[in-house]
Structures are given as structure tokens and as C-alpha cells.
């Protein structure tokens, strides 16, 4: 099955790269987003997402005439839903964007069309929520139009590369839908394409991120135990990982982003009695920022009236994404403990986060700091010279929450050095 037109709904971290990728292969693409400012920026040729290669891809797609952007859904042979799926305060999935996107397709749905949900969703979202909405068009799923689920499985900072190279899972409501999805993604995907049913594909996505979340939770719990036993967790992990069947991950401030710390809750919501380990792991990782904050508070002998230069707000190194960031949670805990936190995030200077005081330059954060906290291991932060930092701040202490700095180098520069379960 060949496709000449695609409408991608959602111009975020997945939808925009996907749209530009299809356009680069000769397909006529319309990218849709309800945020008028995003559409205005894209129409001006400005990617609102910092991702290697994306700006060039966007410009090429726009200049070729194969990519148009709009706030309105248009008719196409295939529709891709790539909208956010956060959760409510009670950890229940917020599927309002998926519902709205599905509803927006209904007036444009025609016989033979393909609809693909890419948004990470609880099991059975495709068959129990999306399909009934689309059938309000008067067409029947499977008989009149095709429907599939195909989750994104890419790493921020490598999205364009991994969209092409990573294996792609496509779950159809029937075999014909899965095969149509394969035909569409083969336009640019070079990795293996695995066909299954829609609900299995939904669960595969959740299992992948939940597996990582549980393993990070073990590492974070090990860090707490190491702190209690006065053990350097990084040395202990290094030694343990020499066992041929052991691979303990890195502890840190917590788990963030729009995947690993969100997706496990979808399984807990769907089957709470069968997801007890998953829920326990989530509890550990969600509480890790508070644990680190208490450690910092203890080291500083209280934070009331103290100023902290806080380096990094992104959810992981060298990306601009601050969604569900544990570094943001840590900064807020430090503010709640009485500190004035001056946060410097070079990749997202205008994040406009509630309760977070951001500065545009590192020097602004350092000028009045009593304590420097490294919350994210950005390459620019790892490269900081301790001797040069000594000249820029009167801070007595530095705290490395992510094991990115050399303890001896910072101590040689005159700082008192601390870190998460660090001795060396």
C-alpha cells in the first residue's frame, strides 16, 4: 500500500521530527498543532525544539513544499496522532489530547484511510477509545478504514537518527491495519518492523520504560543504603557490575521526562493489584528528589537564608526538555527548605517554571551562592574548571548529585565537595 499524503497531529518532540522525515521522502505532509505560537514559529522556519539536525530538516521540508503546518486537520490518506499523554495529580492517564485529536479526524476520514496512534497510552486505548470515536464518522474500523498503534521508541538528542534506525513496532486492530502501518513507515524506517496487535504494541511500549524505571529504582535505593552504611555507591556499583550477569544502572536525582516516570503509572492504573512492584518502584523514584534535598540540607546545616547556584533543570543531560524533570523537583524541595535557588539551564533559559527563579548566565547564579548544586550532567557543566569556578563564587560547598565532577579537583580548588553517596 502506498501513501502520498499524511496528516501528523501534534508538532512536539515526536510529531515534528516524524512529519519532517516523511516530507524528506517525498510524501505531502501537513503538520497540525493547536498551539498557534508553535505553528507561527514553524511557518517562519523556526523549530521550537532543540534537537540535533531538526532545524535543517524542517527548513528543507518547508522549502521543498512537501511540509505545510496548520492549526486545522486536513484530509489525507494517513493520519498520525502524536500528542502528549500526561497524567493527572492522582496518576490517572490524561487522554484528553488523544480524544480531541481522534475527534478532529472524524470529519476527514474516508474509506481506505489509515489512522495511527503514536502517543504512549494505557493498554486498550486504541481499541476502546480511539476506534469508537473514529467510527462516529459512520465508517467501521477494519472494514472501512485501518487503525494501528505504533509507539515512538527514540532518545532525545538522537531522535532523527533513531526514527530511522530503531526497530518499529506496529500493532494493528487487524492484520491489514498492521501491514498498512508497515507500508507507511517503510518510507523512512531502516530498522526491523515488527507487526503485532494494537494492545500488545501498547503494552510493549509501557514494558520497555517500566523495566528501566524499576532498574533505576533499585539503583536509587542502593544509593540510600550506601549513604546509611557510609559506602561510596559509585565504587560499589562499579565492582558489582564486573559480574557478567549484573548491570546496575546509575542512581541520581530521580527519573524524569515524558516516558519513564509516566508510562509505569498507565500499567498501575490499568491493573493496580497486579502492578505492585511497578508502583513501589515509582514511589522510590518519585521520592528521590526529596531524599537528595534532605542530604543537601544536612550538609549545609540548614538552608534558611542560603543561596544555591543550581545547575541544570532538564530531565536528562544535553536536552532542553524539562517535562517531569527530577532536577526541577529537587530545586523546588530546596526552595521549600528555605533556600533561594538561582537556577541556570543553558538549554532552556526561558522555561518559566513555577517557583523556580532562573538566571540567564552562570555568573548570575554563582555571584551570591553559598552552595553550588549540580542537578544535570550537561556536557557544559562537566567541562567546568574548578579553579576558574573558585574565582567566580564565594560558595564554600559544591554538591554533585549525578557523579559528574572529580571530587579531588574541586577540593584542590578550595571547595568542600559532597555528592550522592560519594566518598571518593
Distance, in Å, from the CA atom of 198 to the CA atom of 123, rounded to the nearest integer, reads: 9
Determine the straight-line distance between the first and last CA of the chain, rounded to whole angstroms: 60
Contacts of residue 179, Cβ cutoff 8 Å, sequence gap at least 6:
1, 172, 195
Distance, in Å, from the CA atom of 44 to the CA atom of 47, rounded to the nearest integer, reads: 9
Place of cell 487503525: 147
How far, rounded to the nearest angstrom, does the alpha carbon of residue 185 sit from its chain's CA centroid?
Answer: 22
Place of cell 502517543: 119
Active site residues: 205, 259
Long-range contacts of 25-30 (CB under 8 A, 24+ apart): 25/187, 25/188, 26/66, 27/3, 27/66, 27/187, 28/4, 28/66, 29/5, 29/61, 29/66, 29/67, 29/68, 30/5, 30/6, 30/67, 30/68, 30/69, 30/70, 30/73, 30/74, 30/76
Place of cell 555507591: 233
Query: What DSSP character marks residue 28?
Result: E
State whether the Cα torsion 20-23-25-27 is positive or negative. positive
Query: What DSSP character marks residue 106?
Result: G
Long-range contacts of 383-389 (CB under 8 A, 24+ apart): 386/410, 386/412, 386/413, 386/415, 387/413, 389/413, 389/415
Q: How many residues does the chain have?
A: 424
84: closest CA among 125, 118, 46? 118
Q: Are 354 and 320 in contact (CB under 8 A)?
A: no
Distance, in Å, from the CA atom of 340 to the CA atom of 335, rounded to the nearest integer, reads: 6
Written as nine digits, the cell of 111 is: 474509506
Q: Which helix (H) or strand (E) element contains residue 412?
A: helix 407-412
Distance, in Å, from the CA atom of 335 to the CA atom of 290, rounded to the nearest integer, reads: 12
Amino acid at each position: 500500500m502506498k501513501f502520498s499524503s499524511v496528516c501528523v497531529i501534534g508538532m512536539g518532540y515526536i510529531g515534528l521530527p516524524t512529519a519532517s522525515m516523511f516530507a524528506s521522502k517525498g510524501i505531502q505532509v501537513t503538520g497540525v498543532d493547536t498551539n498557534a505560537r508553535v505553528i507561527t514559529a514553524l511557518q517562519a522556519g523556526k523549530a521550537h525544539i532543540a534537537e540535533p539536525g531538526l532545524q535543517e530538516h524542517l527548513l528543507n521540508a518547508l522549502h521543498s513544499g512537501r511540509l505545510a503546518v496548520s492549526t486545522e486537520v486536513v484530509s489525507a490518506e494517513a493520519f498520525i496522532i502524536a500528542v502528549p499523554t500526561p497524567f493527572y495529580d492522582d496518576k490517572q492517564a490524561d487522554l484528553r489530547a488523544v480524544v480531541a485529536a481522534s475527534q478532529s479526524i472524524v470529519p476527514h476520514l474516508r474509506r481506505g484511510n489509515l489512522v495511527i496512534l503514536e502517543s504512549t497510552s494505557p493498554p486498550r486505548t486504541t481499541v476502546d477509545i480511539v476506534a469508537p470515536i473514529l467510527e462516529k464518522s459512520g465508517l467501521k474500523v477494519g472494514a472501512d478504514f485501518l487503525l494501528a498503534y505504533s509507539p515512538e521508541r527514540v532518545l532525545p538528542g538522537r531522535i532523527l537518527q533513531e526514527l530511522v534506525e530503531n526497530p518499529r513496532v506496529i500493532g494493528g486492530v487487524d492484520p491489514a491495519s498492521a501491514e498498512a502501518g508497515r507500508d507507511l513507515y517503510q518510507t523512512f524506517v531502516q530498522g526491523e518492523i515488527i507487526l503485532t496487535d494494537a494492545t500488545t504494541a501498547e503494552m510493549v511500549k509501557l514494558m520497555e520504560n517500566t523495566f528501566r524505571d524499576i532498574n533505576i529504582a533499585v539503583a536509587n535505593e542502593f544509593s540510600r543504603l550506601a549513604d546509611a552504611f557510609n559506602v561510596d555507591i559509585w565504587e560499589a556499583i562499579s565492582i558489582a557490575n564486573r559480574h557478567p550477569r549484573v548491570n546496575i544502572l546509575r542512581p541520581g536525582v530521580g527519573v524524569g521526562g515524558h516516558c519513564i516516570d509516566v508510562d509505569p503509572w498507565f500499567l498501575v492504573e490499568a491493573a493496580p493489584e497486579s502492578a505492585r512492584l511497578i508502583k513501589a518502584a515509582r514511589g522510590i523514584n518519585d521520592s528521590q528528589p526529596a531524599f537528595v534535598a534532605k542530604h543537601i540540607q544536612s550538609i549545609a546545616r540548614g538552608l534558611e537564608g542560603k543561596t544555591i547556584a543550581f545547575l541544570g533543570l532538564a530531565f536528562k543531560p544535553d536536552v532542553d526538555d524539562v517535562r517531569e524533570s527530577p532536577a526541577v523537583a529537587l530545586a523546588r524541595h530546596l526552595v521549600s527548605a528555605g533556600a533561594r535557588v538561582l537556577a541556570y539551564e543553558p538549554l532552556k533559559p526561558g522555561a518559566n517554571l513555577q517557583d523556580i527563579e532562573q538566571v540567564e548566565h552562570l555568573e548570575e547564579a554563582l555571584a551570591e551562592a553559598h552552595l553550588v548544586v549540580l542537578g544535570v550532567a550537561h556536557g557544559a557543566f562537566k567541562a567546568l574548571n574548578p579553579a576558574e569556578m573558585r574565582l567566580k563564587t564565594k560558595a564554600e560547598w559544591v554538591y554533585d548529585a549525578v557523579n559528574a565532577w572529580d571530587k579531588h579537583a574541586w577540593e584542590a580548588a578550595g571547595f568542600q565537595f559532597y555528592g550522592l553517596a560519594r566518598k571518593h
